[in-house]
Amino acid sequence: MEVLFVSHKFPPNTGGMEKQSMELVVGMEKKCRVHRLVYEKKEPKILFFLLLYKRIKAICDHHPEIDIIHFNDALVASSCLFLPLKSHIQYVVTLHGLDVVFPSSIYHQYIFKRLNRFHRFAAVSNATARKAAELGISPEKISVIPNGVAIDPVKAYTRKEFQAWLSEKGITDSGKTTLMMLGRAVSRKGFSWFANQVMPLLDSNKFRLLLAGPFRFQPSFRERLIYLLPKDFRQKLMLFLGYASDEREIRKVLESYPNVTHFGKLAASEITMLFQHTDVFLMPNIHIEGDMEGFGLVCLEASVNKALVFAANVDGIPDAIQDKKNGILLPSGDAAAWKECLCDFAENRKKYCAEKERFCDFTRQNYNWDKMVTEYFHLFQSIVEKKEQTIEKPIPGFEIPKEQFALTENHIK
Q: Which domains does the chain have, with CATH numbers?
A: 2-148+369-412 (3.40.50.2000), 159-366 (3.40.50.2000)
Distance CA 123, CA 141 (A): 10
Distance CA 187, CA 239 (A): 10
Neighbouring CB atoms inside 10 A of 46's CB total 8
Work out whether the CA dihedral 349, 354, 355, 361 comes out positive or negative.
positive
Q: Given a cut of 70, is residue 392 above it in pLDDT?
A: no
Provide the 3-class DSSP secondary structure of residue 346.
Answer: helix
Q: Given a cut of 60, is residue 120 above it in pLDDT?
A: yes
Q: What is the model's pLDDT at position 411?
A: 46
Q: What is the model's pLDDT at position 389?
A: 67
Q: What is the model's pLDDT at position 6?
A: 97
Name the band, by pLDDT with cuts 50, 70 and 90, for residue 391: low
Q: What's the whole-number mean pLDDT along residues 231-252?
A: 88
Q: What is the model's pLDDT at position 241?
A: 78
Q: What is the model's pLDDT at position 231?
A: 86
Rg of the chain (C-alpha set):
23
241 vs 390: which has the higher pLDDT: 241
Distance CA 288, CA 338 (A): 19
- In this structure, are residues 69 and 56 in contact, taking their beta carbons and an 8 Å threshold? yes
Q: What's the whole-number mean pLDDT along residues 146-151?
A: 92
Q: What is the model's pLDDT at position 130?
A: 96
| Nearest residue to 271 (alpha-carbon basis) of 327, 212, 186 | 212
Average pLDDT for the chain: 90
- Dihedral (C-alpha) 127, 131, 137, 138: value to the nearest 10 degrees? 60
pLDDT digits (tens, 9 = 90+) for 149-196: 998 888 999 999 999 999 999 888 778 999 999 999 999 999 999 999
Name the band, by pLDDT with cuts 50, 70 and 90, for residue 5: very high
Alpha helices (H) along 198-334: 221-226, 231-241, 247-256, 268-277, 297-304, 317-320
Q: What is the model's pLDDT at position 406?
A: 46
Q: Given a cut of 70, is residue 249 above it in pLDDT?
A: yes
Neighbouring CB atoms inside 10 A of 104's CB total 15
Cross-strand bridge partners of residue 312: 330
